[in-house]
Amino acid sequence: MKSILITATNTDIGKTYTTIKLIAELSKRGFQVGVFKPIETGVQEIAYDAQLLLDNCQIYNKNFNNINIKDVAPITYQLPAAPYVSKGKSKIEFSKIAQAFDKLSKHCDILLIESAGGLLTPIEKNYYMIDLANYFKVTSTLLITDEKLGCINNTLLSIEALESRAIPFTWCVNLKEKNSSFDQVSLPYFQEKFERVLTVQKDIENIANNLLSPE
């Protein structure tokens, strides 16, 4: 079973949107795909992102038909903030996360694990979302960045964090805005710096290829 961490340079970048596209792409290739959102904040009655992931997963993977939302999102908090803040004085129950991971792993070939917030969003005081890559022993990580002004800085900082921990990864841009200035203000640098710039909208097949065969 392969596990892939889906993370981003910040919150509201498009992790869930991208993960849903990966569910479809990997399923098309014959894989039984599972989904996992270990921690979700801003949950009032239902873990909205986790429910979207589960609904889309169940379209392709019938093994997940008996999986419930508590399995996909074992830890939830009401306050829409970093888990370290949302949890207040309580401690994260990693045993619940580990149990959910073990259960979900038995029902898929590839488990897509969606983090919350960005790479350095704190779970505990000195434990961050990026640390989930080693915790779950993922085979690869997808870093998603947006197209807004400032994305160069955010992308390079996130890449540096991944490289400093020797975490295998690929990265892509989610083009959310129709009238984005990305092509003028950010793409020229990315094209000069990197061999290729992948976008969620145009390159989901290549993104999947990279995740299945990380460098």
CB-based contact 34:104 (threshold 8 Å): yes
Number of Cβ atoms within 10 Å of the Cβ of 90: 8
Quick one: which H or E segment has residue 136?
none
CA separation for the pair 26, 36 (Å, rounded): 15
Q: Is 125 a catalytic residue?
A: no
Distance of CA 7 to the CA centre of its chain: 4
189 token code pair: 């640098």
Catalytic position from the list 21, 37, 62, 176: 37
CA separation for the pair 189, 70 (Å, rounded): 43
CA separation for the pair 47, 207 (Å, rounded): 27
Q: From residue 154, give the alpha-carbon distance in Å to each of 8, 11, 13, 147.
A: 9, 12, 12, 11
CA separation for the pair 196, 7 (Å, rounded): 20
CA separation for the pair 4, 136 (Å, rounded): 9
DSSP symbol at 169: E
Active centre residues (catalytic):
37
